[in-house]
């Protein structure tokens, strides 16, 4: 379809916006009829005038989003572009759900507008929208910065699809919130949302956690147990910190993505899977590929649609809205109701936020407790930020200092249980954890003795035959050198 000499109807009560949009589209070779209200626009639509509609959300006599179903009832093939200064994820999602072909947050680049219009005129609008889906306006993906607007637009376009998504961003930027938005507002919202954190699960347990296991598959497997793929059937599986997945699990995951089926650990029956995969990482996967630590073919399977979540230091204009949200959340949790002074907000905007949104959330909670006044001042904010930086410096200075094996194990076990998000691990945890600890213990001891099994058995306090049995069971490679 040619995009030349097409007739575009533009509705916006702002004279300046109407003028700028009209002039830009006319320069692009289109005929334009501007309106300041929704009633006049609908009259033209009902008279079958125009080839495309551009409407603001807020009109003096109507709501641009509410007009979308009415327009489509009369003109099912009429492309509709929504523009709005209410630049939130909910606006983009709502526009997409109702059938808008595209969404432009104000202020927008004129070149982007003309590009979107040209693209819209080359395709037919989607068929009449179904009944509007209720959306949760409390979903805490917050921000009106340009970077967040791009994310909202991408999420809105992905909702009706099952495309695999890779969410990349520093720790604390809200990667899981994006995954939940894709699930909660997509067509799989009635199915389960299952999250698994690769960094929190011991290497030996990941395949069992993902694919499940059969009774007797390994020591401690006293019952058959479904994996996360089975639990997420019909819904979304969120693979957090995918960069920490060990190579053997990467191979099995790639096979699932290629063939749409898997087998449980110790199982023989192939099972079909119907899940949408959303992966996330704070690591540079391309560097991991170069280092031989991540499969390139798996990367391309997962990175179908990449979404980069910007760190908070790149979207400082969102701090005020984020802080207001966390203040409200803190009050609902029983903390004292507080507000931030202008000076306090200015102090927050000067910080680099290495911990991103999670750091801001925890700071706001501390400020609510520590502030003696209803309005939090700049001095208290500055003092808490300095204290946080000092604590971070101390943590860096003590990093690597031995705290004892017991504390290290306790730390990783706590993360493991937290990764189950309120659910319990599968039965047989005791034996699985012992196996996880036993393997590096034997491997490191053998390396230290240059593969001498007699010396290694002595160091470990084991019978030589017992050590040989463990080497076979754990599939440990003997280091070069003496093997006796």
Inform me whether the pLDDT recorded for 2 exceeds 60.
Answer: no
Using pLDDT thresholds of 50, 70 and 90, give the confidence band for residue 323: very high
Inform me whether the pLDDT recorded for 353 exceeds 50.
Answer: yes
Q: What is the pLDDT of residue 366?
A: 92
Using pLDDT thresholds of 50, 70 and 90, give the confidence band for residue 138: very low
Average pLDDT value for residue range 398-427: 62
Range with top average pLDDT, 308-312, 402-406, 420-424, 437-441: 308-312
Average pLDDT value for residue range 177-185: 92
Q: What is the pLDDT of residue 310?
A: 92
Using pLDDT thresholds of 50, 70 and 90, give the confidence band for residue 199: confident
Using pLDDT thresholds of 50, 70 and 90, give the confidence band for residue 401: very low
Q: What is the pLDDT of residue 429?
A: 75
Average pLDDT value for residue range 309-322: 92
Sequence-distant contacts of 43-49: CB under 8 A, at least 24 apart: 44/9, 45/9, 45/71, 45/74, 45/75, 45/78, 46/74, 48/75, 49/7, 49/9
Inform me whether the pLDDT recorded for 129 exceeds 60.
Answer: no
Q: Which has more confidence, 463 or 390?
A: 463
Answer for the pair 187, 301: CB distance below 8 angstroms, yes or no: no
Inform me whether the pLDDT recorded for 278 exceeds 90.
Answer: yes
Q: What is the pLDDT of residue 127?
A: 38
Percent of the chain with pLDDT over 70: 87
10 Å CB burial of residue 146 (0-12, 13-18, 19+) is: middle
Tell me the two tokens of residue 442. Answer: 């034997």
Residue 99 CB partners (closer than 8 Å, separation 6+): 68, 69, 72, 80, 125, 126, 128, 129
Q: What is the pLDDT of residue 175?
A: 94
Percent of the chain with pLDDT over 90: 36
Average pLDDT value for residue range 274-300: 93
Inform me whether the pLDDT recorded for 426 exceeds 50.
Answer: yes
Closest CA relative to residue 199, chosen from 280, 310, 277: 280
**CA 384 – CA 373 distance, rounded (Å):** 16
11-25, 207-221, 310-324, 391-405: least confident range? 391-405
**CA 218 – CA 202 distance, rounded (Å):** 15
- How many CB atoms are located within 10 Å of the residue 408 CB? 11
DSSP 213: B
- Mean pLDDT score of the chain, rounded to an integer? 83
Using pLDDT thresholds of 50, 70 and 90, give the confidence band for residue 34: very high
Inform me whether the pLDDT recorded for 480 exceeds 80.
Answer: no
177-186, 295-304, 383-392: least confident range? 383-392
Q: Which has more confidence, 252 or 74?
A: 252
Using pLDDT thresholds of 50, 70 and 90, give the confidence band for residue 214: confident
């Amino acid at each position: 379809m040619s995009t030349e000499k097409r007739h575009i109807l533009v509705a916006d009560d702002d004279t300046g916006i109407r003028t700028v949009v009209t002039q830009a589209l006319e320069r692009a070779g289109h005929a334009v009829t501007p309106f300041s209200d929704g009633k006049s626009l609908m009259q033209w639509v009902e008279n079958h005038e125009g080839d495309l509609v551009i409407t603001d959300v807020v009109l003096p006599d109507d709501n641009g989003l509410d007009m979308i179903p009415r327009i489509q009832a009369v003109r099912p093939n009429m492309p509709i572009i929504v523009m709005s200064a209410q630049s939130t994820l909910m606006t983009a999602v709502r526009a997409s759900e109702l059938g808008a072909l595209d969404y432009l947050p104000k202020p927008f680049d004129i070149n982007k507008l003309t590009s979107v219009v040209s693209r819209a005129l080359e395709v037919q609008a989607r068929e009449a929208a179904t009944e509007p889906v209720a959306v949760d306006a409390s979903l805490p993906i917050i921000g009106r910065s340009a970077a967040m607007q791009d994310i909202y637009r991408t999420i809105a376009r992905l909702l009706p699809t099952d495309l695999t998504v890779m969410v990349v961003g520093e720790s604390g930027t809200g990667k899981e919130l994006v995954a939940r938005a894709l699930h909660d507002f997509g067509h799989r919202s009635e199915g389960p949302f299952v999250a698994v954190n690769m960094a929190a699960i011991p290497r030996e347990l990941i395949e069992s956690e993902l694919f499940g296991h059969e009774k007797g598959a390994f020591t401690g497997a006293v019952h058959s147990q479904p994996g996360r793929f089975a639990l997420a059937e019909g819904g979304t599986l969120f693979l957090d910190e995918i960069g920490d997945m060990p190579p053997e699990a990467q191979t099995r995951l790639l096979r699932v993505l290629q063939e749409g089926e898997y087998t449980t650990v110790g199982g023989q029956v192939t099972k079909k899977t119907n899940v949408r995969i959303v992966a996330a990482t704070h690591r540079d996967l391309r560097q991991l590929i170069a280092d031989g630590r991540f499969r390139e073919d798996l990367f391309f399977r997962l990175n179908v649609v990449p979404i980069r979540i910007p760190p908070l230091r790149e979207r400082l204009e969102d701090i005020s809205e984020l802080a207001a949200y966390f203040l409200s959340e803190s009050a609902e949790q029983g903390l004292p109701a507080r507000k931030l002074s202008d000076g306090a907000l200015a102090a927050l905007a000067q910080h680099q936020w290495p911990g991103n949104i999670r750091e801001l959330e925890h700071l706001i909670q501390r400020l609510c407790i520590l502030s003696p006044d209803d309005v939090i001042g700049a001095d208290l904010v500055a003092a808490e930020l300095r204290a946080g930086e000092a604590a971070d410096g101390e943590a860096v200075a003590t990093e690597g200092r031995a705290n004892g094996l017991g504390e290290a194990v306790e730390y990783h076990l706590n993360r493991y249980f937290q990764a189950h998000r309120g659910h319990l691990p599968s039965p047989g945890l005791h034996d699985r954890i012992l196996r996880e600890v036993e393997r590096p213990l034997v491997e490191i001891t053998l390396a230290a003795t240059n593969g001498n099994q007699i010396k290694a058995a002595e160091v470990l306090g084991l019978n030589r035959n017992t050590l040989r049995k463990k080497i076979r069971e754990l599939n440990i490679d003997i280091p070069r050198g003496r093997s006796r």
